[in-house]
Every structure is written in structure tokens, then in C-alpha cells.
């Protein structure tokens, strides 16, 4: 008995040591990321200050409030508002004016847009390449400003400017994702490409965006215009239209896409990808799960091999969705499907133990889940016992031990 206690303490010590090492590594990476973010924010603030100072100088104003705006690091009015009282007609064209046009278009300020266009702002200035960069037309379309969309089109804005960067959207994709049917129609009338490629990082085609947003009327309009119902999911967090709708629980759109011959078993994207069934299971959408199973969704489709890949059962177990777990088990889901080999792979039992879902852990054990299944071979793998111990889930740890769990590494 004493020897068993010593062994158990040694195993717990190993687990805590390993967890401490990984925590230190994560903290170091987080500190570096925060430092880089602060530097980037400072650079953006400096650029914005220069823009405001340039506007103030050109207008000849000595308004103390403008001077305050140029130097105050605290949140302030957007720089484009200063164009309302500034004569820019003699300035040479510049990227700053283009940035102002994009900002004014996004904010819905038609008078400012008109002044900037009169001042020869570049209506087709490229979108920023970072997160959610938008051209002026993309920005106006996404925010639902039909009058500005029309004005920019009159000024020869490129209706098919490509989506760039992270979460980039074409004008049509941006409008579709927000459910702006009137703008979707206007852009289609202007020959917007209904099947324009999605951005690589979290990109969506117009149909994928509308499906994800739950906009059935837009989905129907795009299908009528021959949108590709089976356009592939892009690399990072990509989703087909069906995967996108399933992940958000939009049963009516799932049904419409299935009626349009959407592939119920389209492959998951490499990085954080999900099949339609996996996506529905993640969200705990039992009605969608049932509809997809009725449509012959593969209950044991492989998990994505990139970051946090999950089978449908692993996804449901991780979310603590006992009803979905039960339905998938009834459909012969493999309770011992291996953890994905990429980053943070988990078996169903490991995922439930890590999340602290005692009822799900019990159900999986009843279904003969392997209590000592090996941790994923990739980065940050965990056994079930290790996951429960690190999370402080004492009841689950005790339950696992009572079923013969011994592996802490």
C-alpha cells in the first residue's frame, strides 16, 4: 500500500513538473506576442498621429482640440472625421487619403467619401494585409451602406478586388456574410464574381459567408446565381458552406444546402477544420447532427491533422454535449478513435476529462473507452488521467483511477 502511494505521488509529481514546464513556455511565448502587439499598436498610433497632424497643418487650423487629437494616445474620434473641415483638393494623392476613404466608407459617411473622391483619393487602394483589411468598396458593402457602394461603383471601384490577409472578404463576400441582400443584388448586377476565391486564413466564399451568418434569403439568391455549393474549405479555419451552416446550428440553411446537393462528407480544412458533422457536434446542435446523420454523414470521419483536430465524438465530448455524444455512440461512433497527430489532439475520453465533463466521461467509460489511451504524439498531447489532474477535476481523476487509469504521461 505504501509503495502504491509513493508511485502515485511520483506520477503526480511528474505530471505537475511537465505542466509547469509547458506553462512557463506558454508564458514566455505570450510575453513575446504581447510585446510584438504593443510595438505594432504603437506604429499604428504614430501613423494616425502623423495623418491628423498633416490634416491640421494643411487646413491651417490652430484649434486646440485638433492639437490634442494629434498627440493624445487615448481613444479619439477617427481621423477621417477631420476631413469634413479640411480642404484637400490641392494635396497630391497619398496612401493616407486612401486609408481615409476606406475608413469613411466603412463608417457610412457619404459626404466625406465624396470629398475624398473629389480630392482624387484612390478608390481602388489595396486592402491592408493584416486582419480584416478592406478596400473602400469591401468596407462599405460589409457595413451595409448601399448609397456609398453605389457611389464607389460610379467611381469605378473594382467590384472583384481580391480578399486578402486574415478574414479578408471581397465586396460580395462581405455583404453576404452580414446578410445585406440589397447590396448583394447590386454587386451581382455590377458583375461581382459569385464564386470568387476565399482568403486562405479564415476566408469564406460568398455562399460560405452567407451560410455561416444564417442568412437564408442571401443563400437562396447566391444559389440562384450558380454559387458553388461545394467550394472547398480554405487552409486555416476554412469551412464549406455546409460546414459553416452546421457549425452555427442553422438547420434551415443546412437543409437548403443539402437540397442543392452539398457534399455532406466534404473534407475538413487542414488547420482547425471540421466536417459538417464535426462542426455541428462541436456546437452541440443535436437537430443538425441528426439531419446530417440522416443524410449519411460519416460518423467516423478522420479528425483534421493540423491544430485541434477532432472526430465528431471527440468534438462533442470536448464540449460536454452529452445528448450529442449519446446520439453519435448510437450511430456507431468509434469511442477509441485515436487523437489527431497535430497540435492538442485528444481522444474522446481525454477531451471530456480535460473539460471536466463528468457525465460525458462516465458515458464514454460505459462505452468501453480506453482509460489508458496514449497521449497524442504531436504537441501538448494528454492522457485522460493527466488531463483531469492538470485541470483539477478530482472527481473525474478518481473515476478514471477506479477504472484502472494509471498513465500520467
CA 316 to chain centre: 19
- Whole-number Å distance between alpha carbons of 138 and 32: 33
pLDDT for res 47: 47
Number of domains in the chain: 1
Q: Where do we find the cell 443539402?
A: 258
152 is a domain residue: yes
Exposure string for 1-16, b = 16+ CB within 10 A, e = fewer:
eeeeeeeeeebeeebe
**Consecutive sets of 10 residues in the chain, 409 residues long: mean pLDDT of each?**
44 48 50 52 47 38 34 37 40 60 94 95 87 90 97 98 88 97 98 94 94 98 98 90 98 98 94 94 97 98 87 97 98 95 88 97 98 86 92 96 87
Helices 322-330 and 312-319: crossing angle in degrees, nearest 10, is 160
Which residues neighbour 286 within 8 Å (Cβ) at sequence distance 6 or greater?
321, 323, 324, 327
pLDDT for res 94: 52
81 is a domain residue: no
24 is a domain residue: no
pLDDT for res 320: 98
Q: Where do we find the cell 476565391?
A: 197
301 is a domain residue: no
302 is a domain residue: no
**How does DSSP classify residue 248?**
H
148 is a domain residue: yes
43 is a domain residue: no
β-pair partners for 307 = 343
350 is a domain residue: no
We report the CATH number of the domain holding residue 136 as: 1.25.40.20
- Whole-number Å distance between alpha carbons of 316 and 322: 7
Which domain does 136 fall in, by range? 92-196
Amino acid at each position: 500500500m505504501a509503495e502504491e502511494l509513493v508511485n502515485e505521488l511520483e506520477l503526480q509529481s511528474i505530471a505537475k513538473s511537465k505542466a509547469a514546464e509547458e506553462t512557463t513556455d506558454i508564458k514566455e511565448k505570450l510575453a513575446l506576442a504581447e510585446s510584438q502587439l504593443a510595438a505594432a499598436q504603437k506604429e499604428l498610433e504614430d501613423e494616425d498621429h502623423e495623418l491628423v497632424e498633416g490634416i491640421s497643418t494643411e487646413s491651417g487650423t490652430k484649434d486646440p482640440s485638433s492639437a490634442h487629437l494629434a498627440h493624445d494616445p487615448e481613444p479619439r474620434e477617427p481621423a477621417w472625421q477631420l476631413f469634413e473641415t479640411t480642404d484637400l483638393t490641392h494635396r497630391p494623392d497619398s496612401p493616407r487619403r486612401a486609408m481615409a476613404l476606406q475608413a469613411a466608407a466603412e463608417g457610412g459617411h457619404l459626404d466625406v467619401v465624396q470629398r475624398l473622391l473629389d480630392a482624387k483619393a484612390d478608390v481602388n487602394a489595396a486592402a491592408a494585409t493584416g486582419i480584416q483589411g478592406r478596400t473602400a468598396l469591401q468596407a462599405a458593402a460589409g457595413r451595409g451602406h448601399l448609397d456609398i457602394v453605389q457611389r464607389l461603383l460610379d467611381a469605378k471601384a473594382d467590384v472583384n478586388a481580391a480578399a486578402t490577409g486574415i478574414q479578408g472578404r471581397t465586396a460580395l463576400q462581405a455583404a453576404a456574410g452580414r446578410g445585406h441582400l440589397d447590396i448583394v443584388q447590386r454587386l451581382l448586377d455590377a458583375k461581382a464574381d459569385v464564386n470568387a476565391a476565399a482568403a486562405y486564413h479564415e476566408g469564406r466564399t460568398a455562399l460560405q459567408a452567407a451560410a455561416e451568418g444564417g442568412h437564408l434569403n442571401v443563400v437562396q439568391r447566391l444559389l440562384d446565381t450558380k454559387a458553388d455549393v461545394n467550394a472547398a474549405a480554405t487552409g486555416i479555419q476554412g469551412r464549406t458552406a455546409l460546414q459553416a451552416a452546421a457549425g452555427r446550428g442553422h438547420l434551415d440553411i443546412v437543409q437548403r444546402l443539402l437540397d442543392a446537393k452539398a457534399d455532406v462528407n466534404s473534407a475538413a480544412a487542414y488547420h482547425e477544420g471540421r466536417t459538417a458533422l464535426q462542426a455541428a457536434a462541436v456546437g452541440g446542435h443535436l437537430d443538425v447532427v441528426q439531419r446530417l446523420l440522416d443524410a449519411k454523414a460519416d460518423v467516423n470521419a478522420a479528425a483534421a491533422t493540423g491544430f485541434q483536430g477532432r472526430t465528431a465524438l471527440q468534438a462533442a465530448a470536448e464540449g460536454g454535449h452529452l445528448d450529442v455524444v449519446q446520439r453519435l455512440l448510437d450511430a456507431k461512433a468509434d469511442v477509441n478513435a485515436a487523437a489527431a497527430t497535430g497540435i492538442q489532439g485528444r481522444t474522446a475520453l481525454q477531451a471530456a476529462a480535460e473539460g471536466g465533463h463528468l457525465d460525458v466521461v462516465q458515458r464514454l467509460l460505459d462505452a468501453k473507452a480506453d482509460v489508458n489511451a496514449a497521449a497524442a504524439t504531436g504537441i501538448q498531447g494528454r492522457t485522460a488521467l493527466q488531463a483531469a489532474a492538470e485541470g483539477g477535476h478530482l472527481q473525474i481523476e478518481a473515476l478514471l483511477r477506479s477504472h484502472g487509469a494509471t498513465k500520467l504521461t
